[in-house]
């Protein structure tokens, strides 16, 4: 196993203010000088969960945390310091301080969607490995990210757990081993968005760096609930809604099941509701039908009130699925659910460790992660195509080799989103 440290621990301690008295429990193979040092950006619900998961690994050391809300950053700084029984974790409201800190090996990005790729690119440019949440904000972003990861020979992991979750792993395993026959279709239901009323502009509160919250997105005024997760999630300026958010979970399993050449669908047909006169500017309901090059169809729609976040794989001999996120598996024949395979006998890969553990292992080995930049791009391309089809109101055809919509200039223009640069001066 490669030694990760590229500097002495005492040099690192001097930069970030670690205490010079080190408990014996942190010495040995997981001594600070051998640990993968992390800076965590975004300390909301997902960010704090990622932080806790990384803290549970003795070969990782969190050196700094960041959030545009000062109280969030300070709160998670306290969590880290309490965990390490010290005072060495730095708190900041400016993500650029994390990127610039030479004592940090890798960054963990758990921000709103519009920051995922820009922050990843900033970190990659200075030689850091990256763990970033999903999804991308546009199709073009994904290709740019892939190219930069390859150029830097970096380790990149998407903050997505589904391939490590037993329920979704088993669905694919049973399919790969022929238990439901040849796959014919996949049905997915996901949460609808929320329609939020318009809000008036108010002064930015103390303790919030709103300039850095907006960052590379188009600048829009601050209002009471602007930075709340469900609000920004339903605002196209910062996200593409539940179709992209939850879609990256279950549609990943769907595309693994389809196993089509080119990965992405060749035809996309969709409809949905984008509210008017609302803070919500993404599809809050959606019904998307995909057809892949091997003929398999995937139907993704927003669920009804009595439904859950469900997926069902239907094959020529039967079906398997569940009715809600991580819920009990069901099948057309109970025998399918009891099927197990001897070591080495399954045609599906072994279930990988969780995404945080996998990332740390790959930083050491320099191997590919479970969810690479390429995987993120292919997954999000499919979902972005659904969003674009909704907005244009027509069927689209996709060329996976050229990564463009066929004979559709309007759709191709929507593959990218214009980024704003003046946040660098104002933030």
Are residues 380 and 139 in contact, defined by beta-carbon separation less than 8 angstroms?
yes
In a domain, 222, yes or no: yes
User: Which letter does DSSP use for residue 357 in this model?
Assistant: H
Residue 21: predicted pLDDT: 35
> Is 130 among the domain residues?
yes
Residue 89 has which token pair? 């974790």
**Same domain, yes or no: 125 and 171:** no
155 and 176 share one domain: no
Report the CATH number at residue 182: 3.30.360.10
Rounded Cα–Cα distance for residues 54 and 104 (Å): 14
Quick one: 254 and 146 in the same domain?
A: no
Q: Please say which residue of 136, 162, 188 terminates a domain.
A: 162
Would 417 be classed as within a structural domain?
no
Given this model, what pLDDT does residue 421 score? 85
Which residues, at least 6 apart from 163, have a Cβ–Cβ distance to it below 8 Å? Answer: 169, 252, 256, 351, 352, 370, 371
Residue ranges of alpha helices (H) inside 91-165 are 95-100, 116-125, 139-152
What is the pTM (predicted TM-score) of this model?
A: 0.92
**Residues 147, 229: one domain?**
no
d(CA 153, CA 147): 10
Dihedral sign, Cα of residue 172, residue 173, residue 177, residue 178: negative
- DSSP run (H or E) holding 388: helix 373-392
Tokens linked to 83 = 């965990």
pLDDT computed for residue 66 by the predictor: 98
d(CA 312, CA 319): 7
Query: What's 52's domain CATH number?
Result: 3.40.50.720
My answer on whether 56 and 200 are in the same domain is no
The number of distinct structural domains making up the chain is 2
Determine, yes or no, domain membership for 298.
yes
pLDDT given at position 427: 65
The packing angle between helices 70-84 and 45-55, to 10°, is 10
Same domain for 216 and 113? Answer: no
What pLDDT is recorded for position 340? Answer: 96
Kindly give, in sequence order, each residue whose CB lies less than 8 Å from that of residue 46, ignoring residues fewer than 6 positions away: 110, 133, 159
Please state, in angstroms and rounded to a whole number, the distance separating the CA atoms of residues 91 and 94. 9
Report whether 147 contacts 215 (CB < 8 A).
no
Query: Cα separation of 7 and 27, whole Å?
Result: 16
Give Cα separations from 248 to 47, 285, 335 (angstroms). 17, 16, 30
The answer to whether residues 61 and 122 belong to one domain is yes
pLDDT tens track, the chain, 427 positions: 333 333 333 333 333 333 333 443 444 565 666 899 999 999 999 999 999 999 999 999 999 999 999 999 999 999 999 999 999 999 999 999 999 999 999 999 999 999 999 999 999 999 999 999 999 999 999 999 999 999 999 999 999 999 999 999 999 999 999 999 999 999 999 999 999 999 999 999 999 999 999 999 999 999 999 999 999 999 999 999 999 999 999 999 999 999 999 999 999 999 999 999 999 999 999 999 999 999 999 999 999 999 999 999 999 999 999 999 999 999 999 999 999 999 899 999 999 999 999 999 999 999 999 999 999 999 999 999 999 999 999 999 999 999 999 999 999 999 999 988 888 877 6
Considering the domain architecture, whether residues 158 and 242 belong to the same structural domain is answered as no
Q: Which of 309, 340, 335, 341 is nearest to 324 (CA)?
A: 309
80 with 204, same domain? no
Are 32 and 4 within 8 A, CB to CB? no
User: 87: helix, coil or strand?
Assistant: coil
Domain that holds residue 147: 9-162
Locate all alpha helices (DSSP H) within 27-103, ordered by sequence: 45-55, 70-84, 95-100
| Same domain (yes/no): 247, 153 | no
Co-location of 125 and 172 in the same domain: no
pLDDT of 34 reads 81
| 402 and 378 part of one domain | yes
89 domain residue, yes or no: yes
Identify whether the C-beta of residue 46 lies closer than 8 Å to the C-beta of residue 110: yes
Residue that the structure tokens 């800076």 belong to: 39
In-domain check, residue 425: no
């Amino acid at each position: 196993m490669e030694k990760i440290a590229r500097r002495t621990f005492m040099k690192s301690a001097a930069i970030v203010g670690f205490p010079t008295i080190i408990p014996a429990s942190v010495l040995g193979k997981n001594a600070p000088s051998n640990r993968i040092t992390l800076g965590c950006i975004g300390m909301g619900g997902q960010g704090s969960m990622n932080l806790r998961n990384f803290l549970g690994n003795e070969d990782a050391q969190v050196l700094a945390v960041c959030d545009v809300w000062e109280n969030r950053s300070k709160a998670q700084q306290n969590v880290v310091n309490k965990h390490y029984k010290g005072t060495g974790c730095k708190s900041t409201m400016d993500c650029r301080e994390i990127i610039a800190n030479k004592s940090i090996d890798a960054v963990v990005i758990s921000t709103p969607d519009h920051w995922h790729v820009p922050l990843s690119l900033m970190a990659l440019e200075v030689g850091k490995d990256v763990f970033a949440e999903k999804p991308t904000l546009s199709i073009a972003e994904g290709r740019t990210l892939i190219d930069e990861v390859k150029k830097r020979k970096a380790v990149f992991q998407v903050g997505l757990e589904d391939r490590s979750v037993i329920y979704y792993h088993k669905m694919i395993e049973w399919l790969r081993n022929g238990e439901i026959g040849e796959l014919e279709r996949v049905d997915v239901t996901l949460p609808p968005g929320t329609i939020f009323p318009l809000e008036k502009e108010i002064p930015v509160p103390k303790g919030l760096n709103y300039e850095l919250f907006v960052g590379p997105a188009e600048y829009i005024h601050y209002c009471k609930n602007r930075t709340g997760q469900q609000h920004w999630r339903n605002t196209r300026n910062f996200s593409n809604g539940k179709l992209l958010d939850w879609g990256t979970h279950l549609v990943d399993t769907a595309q693994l099941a389809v196993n089509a050449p080119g990965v992405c669908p060749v035809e996309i047909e969709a409809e949905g509701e984008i509210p008017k006169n609302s803070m919500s500017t993404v599809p809050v309901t959606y019904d998307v039908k995909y057809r892949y090059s091997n003929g398999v169809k995937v139907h993704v729609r927003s669920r009804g009130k009595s439904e859950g976040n469900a997926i069902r794989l239907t094959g020529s001999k039967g079906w398997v699925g569940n009715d809600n996120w991580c819920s009990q598996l069901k099948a057309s024949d109970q025998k399918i659910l009891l099927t197990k395979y001897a070591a080495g006998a399954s045609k599906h890969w072994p279930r990988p460790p969780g995404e945080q553990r996998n990332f740390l292992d790959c930083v050491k080995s320099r191997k590919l992660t479970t969810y690479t930049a390429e995987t993120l791009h292919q997954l999000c391309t499919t979902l972005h195509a659904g969003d674009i089809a909704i907005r244009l109101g027509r069927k689209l055809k996709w060329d996976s080799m050229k990564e463009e919509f066929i004979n559709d200039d309007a759709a191709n223009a929507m593959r990218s989103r214009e980024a704003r640069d003046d946040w660098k001066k104002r933030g």
